[in-house]
Structure 1
Amino acid sequence: MSATEHLLLDPGWRDGVRSVNGVDLHVVEAGDEGDPVLLLLHGFPEFWWGWRHQITALADAGHHVVVPDLRGYNTSSAPQQVDAYRLDVLAADVLALADAYGADRVDVVGHDWGAVIGWEFAARHPERLHRLVVLDGPHPDTMLRQVLAHPTQGLRSAYAGLFQLPRLPEVALRAFGFASLRAAMQRSARPGTFEPGALDRYAAAWSRPGSLTAMLNYYRALRSRRPGSSPSRVTRPTLILWGEHDDFLEGHVARASLERCDDGRLVVIEDAGHWLHLEQPDLVTTEILLFLARTDD
């Protein structure tokens, strides 16, 4: 990790690298290693630092918090092949992380793409999951149907189709110091969500060699997914947290995802949009902790 990256670490946090499933993943950890493992999975276009408001509180509550840079992001390995970002591969990364920490079962909290990966991991490997928390991320087998049924959601999701084009998205997003990505994050968040310098830190991660193409390959790999080609039902306890004013995902997407759960609960966070873990950090952390503390299973 660079000296600049070390500046992002709070006291009590530590970082390292785990070699799993053919890639090296940079991870930040907090809490005692003997505590239950809790994986925090970030989304597009963040990196591990997106969980900065939750890490310490979750560790203090008795969790061994493990926050990876997902493959392709920041200082983790960034293979350039599209197939390296299929959902089954990404779920296998989570499984391999659980193995690397010697955890029979893990709790998983995911936002955006991290939530999509969490859904996939929960469906494929229920025996290795304790509880799942998803923040503003659709179950992967619901999204196409919701787009077709709701034209306004199709408009909100148009960027995902554009991201699947070759080369052009890299040129457009990199232009003028990632101006469009910065603007999209700023525009879709409550005022003051991103503290001074925060978007510069994100841009530094996007600037790493190969990272931008890798980040876009998550979307390009969706073309190879066929509905029904993998397990869909989620049998483990699941909490869905959804920003009331999400600019990218409408509320029916959350409700359709909930229908895939045998034991699910949906909580809509008021006065929050897509970046609810940053916009309403204390409320989101409290909801996560209350859910993880349940003793009914």
Structure 2
Amino acid sequence: MDSFTRDGLRFDVIEWGDDGGGGDGVPVLLLHGFPQTAASWEPVARRLAAAGHRVLAPDQRGYSPGARPEGRRAYRVEELVDDVVALADAAGAQTVHVVGHDWGAVVAWALAALHPERVRTLTAVSVPHPAAFVKAIATSRQFALSWYMYFFQLPGLPERVIGRPGGLADAARRAGQSPERARRDEAALTARGGLRPALTGAINWYRAMPFWEHRGLQLTVATPTMLVWSDGDVAISRVSVDATPRWVTGPYRLEVLHGVSHWIPDETPDRLADLVLEHLGTGAA
């Protein structure tokens, strides 16, 4: 499987494995964050596939050149969730395990909240439940840590600032990403139809936040859930992490990685893969 379509949009997909070994027959969907692509999951995906799982990682809306609709509203979280449902349908999967990092975690939380019947397990990497995050913005230093979200609301300016050669890589390095991986991610987006168009699609995820139908995603999650957070994260405060259990009614587990940056799948892929493989077992039918 290398692509799927929804409403005339074409999404690129990378697939690893075929569930021919120790998997449970339920695909594992890996959802990337900003400003990365499906390729950023490769070290984790190969570990999951080696354990026998079928692993699918899409370049999501705005990142796939064939899936860049016009306008902010087209990037609402509900649309992003329906894209993932379409991927599951295309894969022939009634249920999936979902793992999301950064913005991919937001989509994973929303998928589990809006379509609990489709999600066997949820692993959120770096980002806590959106409702806990929104509350933390209003009550803690999370407001200051999220300054870039307000900057991204400006029309055109973010693309001019970080869309210059090396600009996106510089921004990622300031957020804790290694120089080599930051350049890798900028090159990956540039190869997908040019950096500026890819950036507009990616930044529209932020610009669409005021248009969410489920404002702040004030919905609980009953799916077996694991949150993996790192105390070296410069974007996500512990306050929002600690508030997350309020929004999870099912089995919940928090794993804190010490001395690790926001870029957990890049920085500690083997540790993350170990945690995910362990968590997948909690969703056995």
Alignment TM-score, normalising by the size of structure 1: 0.87
- Percent identical residues: 34
Q: Which moved more, 1:130-139 or 1:185-194?
A: 185-194
What residue number does 1:212 align with? 199
What residue number does 1:271 align with? 259
1:60 and 1:161 map into 2 onto residues whose CA distance is 41
- Are 2:13 and 1:27 equivalent residues in the alignment? yes
What residue number does 1:125 align with? 115
CA RMSD of aligned residues (A): 2.3
Residue 125 of structure 1: how far off its partner (Å): 0.3
Residue 201 of structure 1: how far off its partner (Å): 3.5
SS of 1:259's equivalent in the other structure is: helix
What residue number does 2:270 align with? 282
- Are 2:167 and 1:167 equivalent residues in the alignment? no
Q: Which moved more, 1:217-226 or 1:118-127?
A: 217-226
Give the 3 Å change call, closer, same or farther, for CA 110–21 of structure 1 in structure 2: farther
Matches within 5 A, 1:57-76: 57-76=47-66
- Are 2:147 and 1:135 equivalent residues in the alignment? no
1:56 is matched with which residue: 21, 46, 66? Answer: 46
- Extract unaligned runs of 5+ from structure 2: none
Post-superposition, which runs of at least 4 consecutive aligned residues in structure 1 deviate over 4 A?
Answer: 190-193, 195-199, 226-231
SS of 1:223's equivalent in the other structure is: helix
Deviations 1:88-127 (A, max 9, x none): 1111111111111111100000000000000000000001
One-letter amino acid of the structure 2 residue matched with residue 290 of structure 1: E
2:66 and 2:248 map into 1 onto residues whose CA distance is 31
2:199 and 2:178 map into 1 onto residues whose CA distance is 26
2:9 and 2:94 map into 1 onto residues whose CA distance is 21
What residue number does 1:86 align with? 76
Give the 3 Å change call, closer, same or farther, for CA 284–224 of structure 1 in structure 2: same
- Are 2:208 and 1:221 equivalent residues in the alignment? yes
1:229 and 1:295 map into 2 onto residues whose CA distance is 27
- Are 2:281 and 1:293 equivalent residues in the alignment? yes
SS of 2:131's equivalent in the other structure is: coil
2:216 and 2:175 map into 1 onto residues whose CA distance is 33
SS of 2:122's equivalent in the other structure is: strand
Deviations 1:256-280 (A, max 9, x none): 2232111211100112111011111
One-letter amino acid of the structure 2 residue matched with residue 121 of structure 1: L
Residue 227 of structure 1: how far off its partner (Å): 5.8
What residue number does 1:9 align with? none
Residue 22 of structure 1: how far off its partner (Å): 3.8
1:154 is matched with which residue: 140, 143, 147? Answer: 143
Matches within 5 A, 1:190-209: 194=181, 199-205=186-192, 207-208=194-195
Give the 3 Å change call, closer, same or farther, for CA 264–21 of structure 1 in structure 2: farther
What residue number does 1:242 align with? 229
Deviations 1:193-251 (A, max 9, x none): 73875653354448256221111110010012366686610001000000111010111
Q: Which moved more, 1:84-93 or 1:182-191?
A: 182-191
One-letter amino acid of the structure 2 residue matched with residue 31 of structure 1: G
- Are 2:238 and 1:251 equivalent residues in the alignment? yes
- Extract unaligned runs of 5+ from structure 1: 1-14
CA contact (8 A) 2:13 2:56 kept: yes
One-letter amino acid of the structure 2 residue matched with residue 155 of structure 1: A
SS of 1:210's equivalent in the other structure is: helix
One-letter amino acid of the structure 2 residue matched with residue 243 of structure 1: S
Residue 41 of structure 1: how far off its partner (Å): 0.2
1:102 is matched with which residue: 92, 99, 106? Answer: 92
Alignment TM-score, normalising by the size of structure 2: 0.90
1:207 and 1:258 map into 2 onto residues whose CA distance is 40
Give the 3 Å change call, closer, same or farther, for CA 77–140 of structure 1 in structure 2: same
Give the 3 Å change call, closer, same or farther, for CA 209–186 of structure 1 in structure 2: closer
What residue number does 1:5 align with? none
SS of 1:131's equivalent in the other structure is: strand
